[in-house]
Amino acid sequence: MAVDRSDIAKLAELARIAISDSAADDVAHRISDVLALVDQLQAVDTDGIAPMAHPFDAVQRLRADEVTEPNLREQFQAIAPATQDGLYLVPQVID
């Protein structure tokens, strides 16, 4: 399965990564090489096999709904690019 520059443009949009026009062809080529490697999987018969996400098929453990962590907002926000009144600042989203 090969991808072309329009596929790359769509993927870049989904992944929120800017890919320049000049880079797109090279990226498409490299990714197509990897997808060629990966296509070997299509030949494998996996009828009746359940997907495996965890070696022991573990599931999310639940815990009691109790507060166990202190609020460390100031400490964590100390390393943020821009904050104000305990909120993270980003460029305007809504007009």
Partner 1 sequence: MHHFTVAELIQGLRRKDFSSVELTQHYLDRIARLDPIYNSYITVAAEQALAQAAEADQRLAAGNAPALCGVPIAHKDLFCTSGIRTSCASKMLDNFIAPYDATIVENYRQAGVVTLGKTNMDEFAMGSSNETSFYGPVKNPWATDCVPGGSSGGSAAAVAAHLAPAATASDTGGSIRQPAALCGLTGIKPTYGRVSRWGMIAFASSLDQAGTLTRTAEDAAILLNDMASYDAKDSTCIEHEIPDYTATLQDSLQGLKIGIPQEYFAEGLHPEAAAHIEAAIKTYESLGASIHNISLPHTHLGVPAYYVIAPAECSANLSRFDGVRYGYRCENPRDLTDLYKRSRAEGFGEEVKRRILIGTYALSAGYYDAYYSKAQKVRRLIKQDFVDAFQQVDVILGPTSPSPAFAFGAKAKDPVSMYLEDIYTIGTNLAGLPGLSIPCGLVENKPVGLQLIGNYFAEAKLLNVAHQFQLATDFHKQVAPGIE
Which residues contact partner 1 by CB under 8 A?
Answer: 3, 7-8, 11-12, 14-19, 27, 30-31, 33-35, 37-42, 44, 46, 49-56, 58, 60-61, 63, 72, 75-82, 88, 90-93
Nearest distance from C-beta of residue 1 to partner 1, angstroms: 9
CA dist., res. 18 & res. 21, Å (int):
10
Residue 90 makes CB contacts below 8 A (sequence gap 6+) with: 82
Q: Closest approach of Cβ 26 to partner 1, in Å? A: 9
Single-letter amino acid, residue 60: Q
Q: How far is the CB of 3 from partner 1 (least distance, A)?
A: 7
d(CA 26, CA 10): 15
Task: Please check whether residue 22 is in contact with residue 29, taking contact to mean a CB–CB distance below 8 angstroms.
Answer: no
Q: Which is nearer to partner 1, 25 or 33 (CB)?
A: 33
